Amino acid sequence: MSEATQSAKPAAQDPGVVLTCDSADGRYAQDIYVGGHILRADEPTSLGGADTGPTPNDLLLAALGSCTAITLRMYAERKNWNVGKISVRLHQSRIHAEDCKTCESKEGMVTRITRDIRIEGPVGGEIRKRLLEIADKCPVHRTLTAEVVVETRIAD
């Protein structure tokens, strides 16, 4: 880690701050600082990266999947439902908007994320239906489906 990276690392008292910095471990590798945690993102070797971590899009899917599972677990615990193990499998693809029945856009391409939730516990149809509704209430899902404004500027 370079001196510039070290000095730019957010202090523990900066809640909600995420910092990404070039890593010394590859051309595209990024060290990611979140609270007291350090993660890594990179591109696969087929795209010129060193494959030292998941791609940024993989991390986005991981955020949605983990948020979904956590939200379902919290809800099930409040209801005292034995849902057993919860896993979420996600896949991202680009499709033609005209092929999407539920999309507002009808021209160009849209991103489709397929999210398959597996609940291994002995839960019936009504509980499963309710958990499916709750999955769409996870904070990351809400962020991805709401209007998002990203303000970008060059820092001093």
pLDDT digits (tens, 9 = 90+) for 44-101: 999 999 999 999 999 999 999 999 999 999 999 999 999 999 999 999 998 887 777 7
Provide the residue ranges of all domains of the chain, joining segments of one domain with +. 3-47, 56-145
Q: Range with the lowest mean pLDDT among 17-21, 35-39, 76-80, 102-106?
A: 102-106
Measured CA distances, 114 to 89, 119, 145 (Å): 8, 16, 14
Please, which contacts does 26-32 make with residues 24 or more away whose CB atoms are closer than 8 Å? 26/50, 26/52, 29/53, 31/1, 31/5
pLDDT digits (tens, 9 = 90+) for 88-134: 999 999 888 777 777 777 778 888 999 999 999 988 899 999 999 99
Those residues whose C-beta lies under 8 Å from the C-beta of residue 143, and which sit 6 or more positions away, are none
Question: CB–CB of 86/104 below 8 Å?
Answer: no
pLDDT tier, 20 (very low <50, low <70, confident <90, very high otherwise): very high
pLDDT tier, 9 (very low <50, low <70, confident <90, very high otherwise): low
CA 68 to chain centre: 10
What CATH number should be reported for the domain whose range is 56-145? Answer: 3.30.300.20
pLDDT of residue 110: 84
Measured CA distances, 95 to 25, 46, 107 (Å): 34, 23, 11
User: What is the bridge-based pairing of β-strands 18-22 and 37-41?
Assistant: unpaired
